[in-house]
Chains A and B, each alone.
Chain A
Amino acid sequence: MIKLRPNDPGGLYPPYFCVLKSPNSFRSGLAMMHTPFRTLLALLLPLAFAGCGPDEEVEPTPMPPTTTGTLRIKVVPEWEGGAFAMNSVYTNVSDYRVKVEAIKFYLGDVRVLNGSSETMVKDIAFFNLGEGRDTLLATVPAGTWTGLRIGLGVPQELNDADPIVYPSGHPLDLANAMYWTWSQAYRFLIFDGRYDLDAGGTDPPAEPFSMHTGLNECYMEFDLDLGTGVTITAGNTTTLTVHLAVDHFFYSGTETLDLATENQTHGTNLPLALELSNNAAQSFSVE
């Protein structure tokens, strides 16, 4: 804990110091010492305090604005409106048995809408549903918001930026293993698992599918209607559940993504990447 110490009287103390004792008790302890030790201390203390370095200065934390609240968006995966679990076997729209092993994605440029007004509230968030990373926190102006506008993927400005600069824990941190090093761009959606064309099969699905979208072409923006609106009050957190229909990843309208022939995309199979991106963007909903 570093604190600013104002009104240093004697020049012995540097303006910043590591607080182990209160200034007064520290000074009284000094007075009790014999002269040689006081001299030694006088020589050593500046060195000690200098070691703390200016990089440890902490600006006073500004008071949080009182006109915003927190919107907590929790994404809940579902299958045909019911519960969904990774590594469980479901039957998809093509009547194939499907086991999903990984769903990871970015949501970017999240905006709250009200009539013609829209406000960007989150630049980027990372979701890894298999590991419980399913929530986005955004600081939102107080008020009632009737819609959300969200991008599935990483907005181009962020996608093109240097990936080294992000601290540990940041959505774009390389440690999330979403970065395509060969094309210096992020994957937007990872959808991996196994399938079995035999609807009556009893063995675990064995054929792998691995569909990774990315590249700026696959960035898909979608809107969510919040009905009469979600109200954000200053200083409070409001939770919004967003449903993700994983079964919808395999169809859009009357078009189906046929795993028998469409099961791999890693940058080059753009038509399949676009199809999956479009399907997935339509899979989000709010009740």
Chain B
Amino acid sequence: MKNVLHTALVCTLLIVGCRKDPAIPMPQTDAPFPLQLPAGAPFPEVPDDNPLTVASVQLGKALFFDPRLSRDGTVSCASCHHPDRAFSDTVALSVGIDQQTGGRNAPSLANVAYHPYFFRDGGVSTLERQVIAPVQDPLEMDHSLELAAAAVSGDVEYEQLSRSAYGRPMDEFVVTRAIANYERTLISGWSRFDRYFYQNDGTALTDAEVRGWDLFRSAALNCTVCHNGFDLSDHSFQNIGQYLDYADPGRERISLDPLDNGKFKVPTLRNIALTGPYMHDGSIPTLDGVIDHFASGGLPHPNRSPLLPNFALNADQKADLIAFLNALTDERSIDQVP
């Protein structure tokens, strides 16, 4: 009997010992994420090693809002990218760990699935690699990606989603992939302007907004030379004459070309009413101030874009233009994950 009990004990140990983690449920079947797209919008490109699936996106959302990714567990992605602000911040420069202030204004994440590069200087080429930066930036989350992944590994729900989506336990690979996929689902294209322009609904905009749209695309203002296409941005790099001497070199930091000094990626204008303060450093608090800046043509920096004309607007025209910009706000949440 003693031998029998001994052998039974060995069997039990075998069963327990061979399992990687008895607390982790077996993965569920994953499925493609049913991404909703506005009329005419193409399905965004997705890397081969990161298929857009329900589990990956659910996990990405959970991680996006999880402050455990930061060194002291106080800062999450959502701390600086607020869902009700089209995933931008309300302050000029975001506050990271230990109340430190970042170097640039946190941009909206709307339509990042369509961006060819990331950050205001375009220094990073994929959403997956972009995720590394805020986690490891000493002014943001000040963590190592390895430790951040370790901090959330073992979470039963995360582990199940991770194994469903990627067939592996939580690690750095999964953190970067999952958050990138959640960000890919932040599609913006359901504004009244979209109904007016893409769906030919002439009633979608007010008369003032239509007048503003006409001003916006006029040769005199020339806004659409850069703010065009589905994302209302051509994603080019432009110096708009904000300063004569830029504290932030902008695109030059990446290209090392002095001709790129003071150039920053043209931002989307979608949800622009929600994403102030404006400019790469958040130095202009209102749309009114932004229009004043462009009307002035900016300061004569050597790299100032030749595409910037001086123009003058009366009060009514300015109000119309702002009305149009307000019509670029989505009428529904751009977050598609329940």
Contacts and interface: CB of A to CB of B under 8 A. Distances in A.
Contacts of A37: 4, 7-8
Contacts of A215: 256
A182 B7 contact: no
B27 to A, nearest CB: 13
A40 B8 contact: yes
A173 B254 CA distance: 22
B132 A174 contact: yes
Nearest to B144: A175
A33 B5 CA distance: 9
B3, B14, B15, B146: most-surrounded residue (chain A CB, <10 A): B14
B3 A268 contact: no
Contacts of B20: 53
Contacts of B19: 51
Interface in B1-53: 3-4, 7-8, 10-11, 14-15, 17-20
Contacts of B253: 182-183, 267-268
Interface string B107-147: 00000000000010101110011001100110000001110
A183 B123 contact: yes
Nearest to A166: B172
A163 B129 contact: yes
Contacts of A44: 11, 15
B132 A179 contact: yes
A182 B254 CA distance: 9
A179 B133 CA distance: 10
A40 B4 CA distance: 11
Nearest to A21: B10
A41 B256 contact: no
Contacts of B172: 164, 174
B249 interface: yes
Given A168-B146, A174-B145, A33 B137 contact: no
Given A48-B18, A268-B252, A33 B128 contact: no
Given A181-B133, A217-B256, A162 B128 contact: yes
Contacts, number: 93
B173 interface: yes
A33 B124 contact: no
A51 B176 CA distance: 28
A182 B256 CA distance: 14
Nearest to B10: A20
A21 B14 CA distance: 12
Interface string A42-54: 0011011101110
Contacts of B173: 164-165
B1 to A, nearest CB: 8
Contacts of B124: 181-184
A270 interface: yes
A30 interface: yes
A20 B11 CA distance: 11
Contacts of B123: 182-184
Interface in A14-48: 18, 20-21, 29-30, 32-34, 37, 40-41, 44-45, 47-48
Contact of A164 (B119, B133, B176): B176
Interface of B: 3-4, 7-8, 10-11, 14-15, 17-20, 119, 121, 123-125, 128-129, 132-133, 136-137, 144-146, 172-173, 176, 249, 252-254, 256
Given A29-B3, A183-B124, A267-B253, 18 more contacts: A18-B14, A33-B3, A33-B7, A45-B11, A47-B15, A48-B14, A164-B129, A165-B173, A168-B146, A174-B136, A174-B144, A174-B146, A175-B144, A179-B132, A182-B253, A184-B124, A184-B129, A268-B256
Q: 7 tightest CB-CB pairs across the interface, nearest first? A: A181-B133, A51-B18, A48-B14, A48-B15, A52-B18, A183-B123, A51-B19
Interface of A: 18, 20-21, 29-30, 32-34, 37, 40-41, 44-45, 47-49, 51-53, 162-165, 168, 173-175, 177, 179, 181-184, 215, 217, 267-268, 270
24 contacts: A18-B18, A32-B4, A33-B3, A41-B11, A47-B15, A48-B14, A48-B15, A48-B18, A51-B18, A53-B18, A162-B129, A163-B132, A164-B128, A164-B132, A164-B173, A168-B146, A174-B132, A174-B145, A179-B136, A182-B119, A182-B133, A183-B253, A184-B129, A268-B249
